């Protein structure tokens, strides 16, 4: 997880009384990156490039090495998600007439992908509030831990139970109890704001809903990746049979179009996955427990301002 400290430090260094989130975002950032890219061949291309950079810069341990290392780990998640969604340069194998095993199809099961994204988001937020609850308890801030962190933990658990109640009606009552208890604690936490309490209850609750819905970008970028790859494949298929007399020029144009288009898709979608994965860490996740207002550790040492030289004959 050490190279991922670069991502944490881009936001801020943890304080002494905080938990370092680097081990957590090592998994969540890489997983989100892979979920957004969701193509086995894209992950393989990134893995090859990142592995070469890691090998070449290992002895320097510089920013290039750390960044390439994060991409290398993320590429494994990308390839795994590509296998799950049966995506190899988009739907290239399907257009070639090959049967590709997949658990879900990005386009046909878009609603399922959205539900997965929102489930992942609520679990991510719950993790953040749980970490914040532990930190505040450890620092002796029991009241803030209960009102600011436990309240949202109970609300999330209540919403989860109510959602599962559609399959198991026995979970409906526990869900209502947990959601109600969390809502009461949340309202009590807002009463400290005096006259603005009512307004802030509405604002903060819908702010939480907005943060949760922000995880829909996992589905949106997965669809974008599959869509761009599909367009490249369709254009390649359209020009493949073009010929001028006996010369099958369409094959040459198709190969160039396919290679260039897919490389462009890798670059633009990898950039989007990198940015939006960071955003989910910095805005949604860190906002639940992390300040990042610490200072990097530096060993104590004397800093000489003036030196006197003595010369002996």
- pLDDT of residue 308 exceeding 90: no
- pLDDT of residue 115 exceeding 90: yes
Q: How would you label 5-39 residue by residue, b for 16+ Cβ within 10 Å and e otherwise? A: bebbeebbbbeeebbebbebbbebbbbbbbbbbbb
> Radius of gyration of the chain from Cα atoms?
25
Mean pLDDT in residue range 145-167: 92
Which structure tokens are listed for 200? 């802030």
Structure confidence at residue 281 (pLDDT):
95
Which residue's entry shows tokens 């020029």?
249
Question: What is the pLDDT of the chain when averaged over all its residues?
Answer: 91
Mean pLDDT in residue range 207-214: 92
Structure confidence at residue 217 (pLDDT):
94
Q: Which DSSP string corresponds to 74-100?
A: HHHHHHHHHHHHT-BTTBHHHHTT---
Share above pLDDT 90 across residues of the chain, in percent, rounded to a whole number: 68
- pLDDT of residue 197 exceeding 90: no
Confidence class for position 190, pLDDT limits 50, 70, 90:
confident
CA dist., res. 234 & res. 209, Å (int): 38
Does the pTM surpass 0.85? The reply is yes
- pLDDT of residue 245 exceeding 80: no
- pLDDT of residue 248 exceeding 80: yes
**pLDDT tens digits for range 8-55:** 999 999 998 899 999 999 999 999 999 999 999 999 999 999 999 999
**pLDDT tens digits for range 260-281:** 999 999 999 999 999 999 999 9
Cβ(85)–Cβ(35) under 8 Å?
Answer: no
Domain boundaries, the chain: 2-288
């Amino acid at each position: 997880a050490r190279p991922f400290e670069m991502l944490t430090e881009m936001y801020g260094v943890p304080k002494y009384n905080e938990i370092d989130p680097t081990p957590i975002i090592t998994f969540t950032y890489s997983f989100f990156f892979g979920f957004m890219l969701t193509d086995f061949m894209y992950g393989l291309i990134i893995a090859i490039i990142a592995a070469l950079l890691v090998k070449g810069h290992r002895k320097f341990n510089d920013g290039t090495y750390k960044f390439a290392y994060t991409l290398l780990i993320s590429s494994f998640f990308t390839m795994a998600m590509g296998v799950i969604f049966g995506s190899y340069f988009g739907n290239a194998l399907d257009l070639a007439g090959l049967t590709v095993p997949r658990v879900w199809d990005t386009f046909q099961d878009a609603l399922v992908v959205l539900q997965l994204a929102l489930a992942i988001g609520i679990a991510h937020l719950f993790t953040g509030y749980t970490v914040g609850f532990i930190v505040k308890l450890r620092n002796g801030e029991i009241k803030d831990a209960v009102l600011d962190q436990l309240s949202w933990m109970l609300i999330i658990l209540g919403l989860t139970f109510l959602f599962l109640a559609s399959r198991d009606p026995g979970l409906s009552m526990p869900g209502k109890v947990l959601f109600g208890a969390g809502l009461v604690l949340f309202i009590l936490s807002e009463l400290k704001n005096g006259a603005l309490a009512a307004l802030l209850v509405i604002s903060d609750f819908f702010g939480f809903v907005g943060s949760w819905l922000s995880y829909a970008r996992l589905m949106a970028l997965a669809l974008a990746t599959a869509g761009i790859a599909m367009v490249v494949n369709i254009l390649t298929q359209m020009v493949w049979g073009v010929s001028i007399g006996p010369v099958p020029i369409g094959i040459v144009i198709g190969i160039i179009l396919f290679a260039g288009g897919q490389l462009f898709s890798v670059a633009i979608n990898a950039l989007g996955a990198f940015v939006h994965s960071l955003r989910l860490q910095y805005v949604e996740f860190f906002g639940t427990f992390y300040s990042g207002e610490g200072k990097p550790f530096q060993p104590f040492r004397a800093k000489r301002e003036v030196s006197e030289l003595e010369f002996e004959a």
